[in-house]
Amino acid sequence: MHNFNSGPSILPREVFQQASEAILDYNNSGLSILEIGHRTPAFEAILHEAQSLVKELMQLDEAKKVLLLHGGASTQFFQVPMNLLNENATAAYLDCGTWGTKAIKEAKLFGHVDVVASSKDRNYSYIPKGYPIPGDAAYFHYTTNNTIEGTQMHAVPETNVPLVADMSSDILSAAMDFNRFALIYAGAQKNIGAAGVNLVVLDESVLGKVQRPLPSMMDYREHIKNGSMLNTPPVFAIFVCMLTLRWLKSKGGIAGIETLNRKKAALVYDTLDAISLFHTPVAKEDRSLMNVVFRVDDPALEKEFQQICRENNMYGFTGHRSVGGFRLSLYNALPYESVVAITDLMSAFAKKKG
């Protein structure tokens, strides 16, 4: 089986094995991981190891806080401006895809939003460049990788205002200076672990500056104070995150997995570029290493290729319902062999169809 799902997505096989064993008996305790108390030493050790692995893998400064919270990135679309944006202040946002658009919509509920650039004019097929970021902005927000459109930011923008990034679909996939960001958030279900938990990495220095009263569950300061246990955390999801982070460390960390990710993406794009039957609408310099989108112009051939993929145990290869076509998600845990399998299938299909 070859799993190209965009999320929830493929996880390492050994993580499945370890997680399934823990469901029956966690660490020879006689209890399932699903039933241990969240304030027991057993779970506290899991939580602390997961947070420590995030710090180690991302090479974070000691001052950075690592939270593992309920909800996905969509919760952060409003939690970020709720905590960082005053009603009379302005936040700068980059609009380069569906998720950025959703984040902008939520931010407008809390203050002014300056959309500094957008690629909507070409169906989000490229990343805008050369745009100014206002120096008085409360923060600058962008999405590092656009899962639906197949574009990716390959450099961190230069700015003196606090940087906020939604890294849900490429977190831990390539090396960068994560300390440059005031706040990072990422849903776990692509590169970190199972759905149901959200990673937040932030500087405390950007908090406590808004005048509005904050519900305790929406206040980052309360989550920091309570060590990600302001309420009952998603115990099993955090456990799977810890196992996945352990696996990533064993593979050489982010630097090691980046080498594999670039190899996988290169094989797919080289195949696409060599076959006229398939084409990708994404600007070459902005192609995503995580989500490769492509199309077949003939609807009949598209359906035929879909059927062939199913017959060859390919899963999750269709594009998002809003854009159609095909999408291959090449997340950290996807084996290179799966990429070889589908590119061989693409080449054989194209040859057969002339």
Q: Per the residue annotation, which of 64, 99, 219, 286 is the catalytic one?
A: 99
94 C-beta neighbours (distance < 10 Å), count: 24
Identified catalytic residue from 170, 190, 247, 264: 190
Looking at the chain, list the stretches that DSSP marks H as alpha helix, in order from N- to C-terminal side. Answer: 13-24, 41-58, 73-84, 98-107, 220-225, 235-250, 253-274, 299-311, 336-352
Helix axes 235-250, 253-274, angle to 10 degrees: 80
Q: Is 51 strand, coil or helix?
A: helix
The question of whether 225 is a catalytic residue gets the answer no
Asked about 190 being catalytic, the answer comes back as yes
First CA to last CA distance, the chain: 28
Active site residue 247: no
The helix, strand and coil proportions of the chain, stated in percent and rounded to the nearest 5, come to 40, 15, 45
d(CA 154, CA 4): 22
Among the listed residues 95, 166, 219, 286, the single catalytic one is: 166
- Which one, of 213, 330, 242, 189, lies nearest residue 46 by Cα? 242
Known catalytic residues are 99, 166, 190
